[in-house]
């Protein structure tokens, strides 16, 4: 189940909205969160809810797995912020934004949380553990 449409485009929903949407998902299988300010800003809360309900979940934000979520897979945001800083520098030095190429993330990272996997009863295959950029144990 994907939570992109459950929250719409607004960032005004509270933790209760998130919890009620996850409650509806309990028993329907794994959950995939999409990239949005709602997900990014509530990574710790979403990790708490999914773990409490023993729901296997993945988010594009590293902070989700670091805060107790099962796993994250997404762009390396630290690297992407460096690109952004370079663009600001170039614009401040006179470059026209329309002349700058569009940048897309090129480095993606997989973070697995083994503590959470054990707590919710999920076995992570060794192949995934070997492919992970970071394993939290």
Query: Is 120 a member of any domain?
Result: yes
Query: Is 119 a member of any domain?
Result: yes
Instruction: Quote the pLDDT of residue 3.
Output: 53
* Contact criterion met (CB below 8 Å) for 69 and 54: no
- Does residue 5 or residue 104 have the better pLDDT? 104
Query: Is 58 a member of any domain?
Result: yes
Domain carrying residue 128 = 15-75+107-136
Mean pLDDT on 101-130: 94
Query: Is 9 a member of any domain?
Result: no
Instruction: Quote the pLDDT of residue 4.
Output: 44
Query: Is 55 a member of any domain?
Result: yes
Instruction: Quote the pLDDT of residue 38.
Output: 76
Mean pLDDT on 66-83: 91
6, pLDDT greater than 50: no
Predicted structure pTM score: 0.78
12, pLDDT greater than 60: no
Query: Is 121 a member of any domain?
Result: yes
Query: Is 4 a member of any domain?
Result: no
Q: For the chain, what is the domain count?
A: 1
Instruction: Quote the pLDDT of residue 10.
Output: 45
CA geometry: angle 19, 24, 26, nearest 5 deg: 90
Instruction: State pLDDT tens for residues 32-51.
Output: 888 877 778 888 988 998 89
Share of the chain above pLDDT 70, in %: 87
Instruction: State pLDDT tens for residues 76-103.
Output: 988 888 888 899 999 999 999 999 998 8
Q: What Å distances lie between residue 58 and 4, 35, 69, 94, 117, CA to CA?
A: 13, 11, 7, 41, 12
Residue 8 DSSP label: T
* Contact criterion met (CB below 8 Å) for 116 and 68: yes
Query: Is 83 a member of any domain?
Result: no
Instruction: Quote the pLDDT of residue 7.
Output: 45
Whole-angstrom Cα distance, residue 89 to residue 23?
45
What is the CATH classification number for the domain harbouring 54?
3.40.50.2300
């Amino acid at each position: 189940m994907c939570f992109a449409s459950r929250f719409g485009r607004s960032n005004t929903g509270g933790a209760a909205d998130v919890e009620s949407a996850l409650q509806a998902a309990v028993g329907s299988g794994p959950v995939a969160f999409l990239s949005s300010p709602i997900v990014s800003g509530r990574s710790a809360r979403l990790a708490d809810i999914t773990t409490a309900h023993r729901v296997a979940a993945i988010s594009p934000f590293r902070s989700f797995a670091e805060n107790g979520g099962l796993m994250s897979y997404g762009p390396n945001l630290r690297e992407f912020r460096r690109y952004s800083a370079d663009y600001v520098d170039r614009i401040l030095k006179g470059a026209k934004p329309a002349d700058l190429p569009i940048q897309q993330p090129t480095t993606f990272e997989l973070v697995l949380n083994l503590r959470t996997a054990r707590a919710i009863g999920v076995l992570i295959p060794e192949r995934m553990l070997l492919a992970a950029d970071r394993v939290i144990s």
